[in-house]
Each structure stands twice: as C-alpha cells, then as structure tokens.
Amino acid sequence: MFSKILIANRGEIACRVIRTCRRLGIRTVAVYSEADADAQHVRQADEAVLLGGPRPADSYLRGDAIIEAAKRTGAEAIHPGYGFLSENADFADAVVAAGIAFIGPSGASMRKMGSKAGAKELMAAAGVPVVPGYTGEDQSPNTLSREAARIGFPLMIKAAHGGGGKGMRVVHRLEDFIVQLESCQREAANAFGRDRVLLERYVQSPRHIEIQVFADTHGHTLHLNERECSAQRRYQKVLEESPSPFLTPALRTAMGDAAVKAAQAIDYANAGTVEFIVDPDGRFYFMEINTRLQVEHPVTELVTGLDLVEWQLRVAAGEPLPLAQDAIVQRGHAIEVRLYAEDPEAGFLPGSGRLESLVLPTPSPHVRIDGGVVAGDLVTIFYDPMIAKLIVWGEDRPTALARLRDALADCDMVGPKSNIGFLERLARHPAVVEGRIDTGYLDRHLEEFMPAATLAHDLQVGAAVAVLLEQEASARGAAAISTDPGSPWAIADGWRLGHAGRRPLAFLHRDQRWDVLAHGHAGRYAVDIEGATYPVEGARLTAGLLELRIHDEARRFRVHRHGSRVTLHDGERRAMLETLPAYRRVSGGDSGGDGRIIAPMPGRVVVVKAKAGDNVDAGQELLVMEAMKMELAVKAPRAGVVAELRVAAGDFVEADTVLVALE
C-alpha cells in the first residue's frame, strides 16, 4: 500500500479521499489554486502545494505542475478525483511515465472510450446492447440525413467527443434535421474542438441506470450492482438511488453481466461506471463508460458497506480485488442529492459569495454528508458550486425517502441562494415517491417543482411569533445586565406609550414585502396580517424549535435565524424570509401631515417622477426606491405642491430621511 498520495482535485471529492487515506494511515498532499488557498481540502491534507491562478487552466488542469508537485513531495500515487484531469488519457500516461502510480484506469482504456462512436462499435462487437444508430466517419449532410431517415424519428444527434449534456439534440421530423444538425455541430466544435456527431434512435421516457464496475490487474472484474439516476435536468443528475425501483432481479443480473463485458472489452482496471438507458419495456442499451469514480459513488457504498476509494487505492497498488462477485451483498436503500449554490427560480443560475451560515444534518449511520465547504468559506465563480452531497440510508425505499426529507428540513444556508427547497419538493413529488420518473420528466414539468407564489398565513404567523419571542428574550437579557433592571423600559411586555402592546414587524419574501401588527407578549399574541387576525397561545421558542397554537390548532416549526434571515420549516414546507425595518406606510392621514414625506426604509432612489413646483394629487407616485431587490413606490399622501425635492436618482438614503416637502 502507498504511504503518501497526491490528490489532483479540490472540494468535496478531495476531502472525501483524504478521509479514507487518514483511516488507512496514508499521508496526503493537496494541490490548490490561488482562489482555494483557504479551502477545506487544503486545510485537511497533510501537505499542500500551490499550482497557480484561480482559473482551472492555470491550476487544476496543469498536469505538468501536478506531476512536479508529486515528485517534490514524494507522493507515490496520484488520485484524480472526478472532473478536471480524471479522464485525460495523456495525463494518466504522463503520471505513469514519471514513475508514479495513477489511481484509475490506463490511458489506453480511456482512449477506447474517448469517442462515443468508437465506444459504441467496440461494445457492439463485445455483445453489449447498443442503441441502433449511425457512428460512421462520413459526416456529410446528405449521408447523415439518409441515415436519419433509415433510423427513424424521434432520434438523437450527439457530439461524438462530448459529454456533460452538451452537443445533444432530439429531432422529431426529417424536415428539422439539418437545422438541428448544424446547431449541434457548432456547439460540439465550440465545446470540444471537434464537430463529429453520431445518430441514435431516441428512446422515449427512458430510465438512466448505471452499473458500478471494478477490475484489478490480475484478471478479475466484477460489478457492485446499480444506481438509478433518472431524475435529471438538462441531462444533469439531480437524485441518485440504489437499488433501482424499476429493475427486476433478472434485469439486474443481465445489466450487471453486460457491464462486466463492457469493462473487459477495454481491458479496464480500477473503478468505473457503465451507463445504460432502459426503455419502459426493460430493454437496455449501452450509453458510455465513465472511466473514474462517480459523484454518486456514496450511494453504492451505503448499500454494500464498502469503501470504494479504499478499493481504488488497493487496486492501484497492485493488490487483487478484496472480494469476489458472489460476496457482494446489497442491504437496504440509499439516496443521494447534491446541495448547490444555485437559484432554481432563475434557471438554476450558479451562485457565488461568502457562506455566511451553513447548517447541515448531524451525520449518523443513516445520514452521510460529503462536503467541501463550511460556514465562512467562499463559493467562487471559478468552479462547480456544489456545497455538499447529502446521502441517506434506510431499511427500504420509503424509509430512505422519509429520512431524506427529514435531513433536508435540517439544512439551511445563508449567502448565495441554494437548491435546498427544490430538492425538498423533488423528494415529495409523486413521480419520485412512486418511482416512475424518467430522464425527461423534470424538463417537461419543471413548474411542478417550483415554490408557491404566496406564503401560507400559518407560516407568516410562525415567522412573526418567532421574531417576537426573540425580541422578548433579547430584552430580558438586556434587563438582566442593566444597572436599573426595574426600569419600565427593560420590561419585555411589548407595551409602548400611546399604543399598549402595538408591535409592528415587516418581512420580505420572494421580493414581496408584507407587514404584521402584533399585540401581546410572553407567548400570547394577536397577530394581524393582511386584514385578518390570528390569535396565538402557548408560543415557546427553545433551541430552534417553535411550538404554538394558532386558532387553538397546535403547530411546530424548526427555526433557523441568522442576522435578518429567518427560515421556518413545518416538516413539509420551507419559508425563507428577511426581516425589514417596520415603518408607517406613506399614505394620507398616516404621514405627510406636516408636508414632509420620509423614506420608509434604507435604500437607493432609482426613479424621481416629480420636480419642485409640480402640482400633485393624493396617491400620485413621486419617486421609486429600491432596497434588497424590492422596489417601493413613494406616493403623495395628499394633494399639494412640491415645495422641495431633496433627493435625486441614484442617491442612497437612510430610513426616515425627508425625501419631499409638500406645501
């Protein structure tokens, strides 16, 4: 076994490899870019070497610098993780040529899978089922059109040297073929430098099922059963599980045998994944072999009890596979989802920025967290914005799904937007719960997984009560250390001169503001929202758990609070809100009686619609302010003449700043 290895990667996979190495007593060397100087994989490794600038081309894709770092630190092997150089045949060969072990397959095996067209031909020759299609070198439009007509529609155009969902088009009619072909070729040329394509019959409503394979250098090859990855968005996996709810024992055996044949056909060694598509009738077809460890490998680890990174290390060190095929057992059910810094409501736009707060479930025998960042870390624009992988295990699939939902409810993130709420809705959707989702379902029905436009009133009440209780607790704390704890100003009963117990609050939810007026204290309140009053009794907030009765119905919420951010969860629904300064609305009779119109909140003036000397009517817009991505129109509280305009577009103002004076 190796005594020291270098990990040519970053983030959660680098941290995951470090964990196994530490358990086995193997020292680790991390490599990092300037952007990752304070990253977790750098902090956790025994040594770390700077590669270069923040762009991958200047750091994690510099194979020569990585090999030099391995030599300089005395590393005996290099683990590539996934992504970056993990499937680069030239890099694998260069590592071996430098006298260092590559923890993965040979460059020769990778090259056999480097072309989708060549891979299909090789698999067909080995007796592995492939989708009917065309993989020839003649790429003339006439030939491709003729082959498309022969294959039939719908069909898929795929970049022969592509991956990651790029360079793929589904065509439903011959008349559309040339336009889609040209589009696919342009994308392939831009993404991969080559525009060769292949054509395949498009399998409608397919399942995506992959088989984990392992082989050593002693002639042994086996599989570790399947993972189903049919929940996808734009060909990117969203939820992975094992075992598949779709496979029968006979189909599982047939696919496992085919995967072993596929690995043997390319003289494979180490960890790999053979990916298949499966039609609704159970016919399966080879898609590709991923010549590396997969992101979703923990799913297989939880149901087999094996450490696949340890197996990788042992095989790369020349040892035989630790087990034979008949010794592989599968127990229970495991599911994985990936927590990303991304905004599902903005087309899953990747996010970046400081993780002000990150709350994840406590790891247990049933819940596993594979993460690469902690609170305070920076999610940069240069790399994949994955925060962590959440993997759960249960005795059966319903139990695993229940544990997944419960674990997601424990997650909270402040900083960049996240996909946590999206994953919760996914885990509750009937297509997932019933095990009938196919690879195109999410793209066809994405609106079913988006949040409701409005926030339910019970969640609004819960958020308001949580803030009220926190205010009272804070006041009691201040009174305890006050020099005059008996002062009436230190009593947290909500009483104020002129309006006993009147406690205004304001919140922002999905760029919409709503105001609350509450009366009461010590867990007993009347909460007014949008003209309705909600009586609250018995409210208590202890260790992040809010218990209360609304209209005599008992409710329970988990509460995460960070600064102005409040996250409320009732076990099924999540509400994320920002607290805002409460203010009096700018309207007749409430303000402006003395002719002054004040800023209702801190913010920026974006539009000014009046000027000094203008005659204005009651309710007329005078200017528009923006704060926290929300726009608010400031209106005249009464008719009059603008005597003075004290702000201009672009000005930043504090709350209660005088904006306009009316005669």
| Helix H or strand E encompassing 43 | helix 40-44
Q: How confident is the model at residue 500 (pLDDT cuts 50, 70, 90)?
A: very low
Q: Examine the residue annotation and report whether 292 is marked as an active-site residue of this protein.
A: yes
What band does 652 get if pLDDT is binned at 50, 70 and 90? confident
| Residue 625 vs residue 227, higher pLDDT | 227
pLDDT digits (tens, 9 = 90+) for 215-235: 999 999 999 999 999 999 988
Catalytic residue among 16, 27, 196, 292: 292
CA distances from 486 to 224, 474, 520, 589 (A): 70, 16, 20, 37
State which of 256-260, 486-490, 636-640 shows the largest mean pLDDT.
Answer: 256-260
SS3 annotation, 399-466: HHHHHHHHHHHCCEEECCCCCHHHHHHHHHCHHHHCCCCCCCHHHHCHHHHCCCCCCCHHHHHHHHHH
Per the CB < 8 A criterion, the answer to whether 450 and 386 are in contact is: no
Model confidence pLDDT, tens digit, residues 366-424: 999 999 999 999 999 899 899 999 999 999 999 999 999 999 999 999 999 999 999 99
The confidence band for 510, taking pLDDT boundaries of 50, 70 and 90, is: confident
Say yes or no to pLDDT of 492 above 60: no
Instruction: Return the percentage of the chain with pLDDT > 90, whole number.
Output: 76
Do 608 and 621 touch, CB atoms closer than 8 A?
Answer: no
Q: Write down the pLDDT at residue 493.
A: 52
Q: Mean pLDDT throughout 286-310?
A: 96
Task: State the DSSP H helix or E strand holding residue 558, giving kind and residue range, or none if neither.
Answer: strand 553-562
Question: Higher-confidence residue: 114 or 442?
Answer: 442
For range 425-451, the mean pLDDT = 96
Tell me: pLDDT of 608 over 90: yes
Q: Provide mean pLDDT across the span 268-273.
A: 97
What does the pLDDT read at residue 7? 98
What pLDDT is recorded for position 189?
86
Q: Which two tokens stand for residue 641?
A: 């003449």
pLDDT in the model for residue 626: 76
H/E element, 169 = strand 168-171
**Per-residue confidence band for 265, with pLDDT thresholds at 50, 70 and 90:** very high
Taking 50 as the threshold, does the pLDDT of residue 590 lie above it? no
- 333-364 pLDDT, tens digit each: 999 999 999 999 988 988 889 999 999 999 99
d(CA 316, CA 294): 17
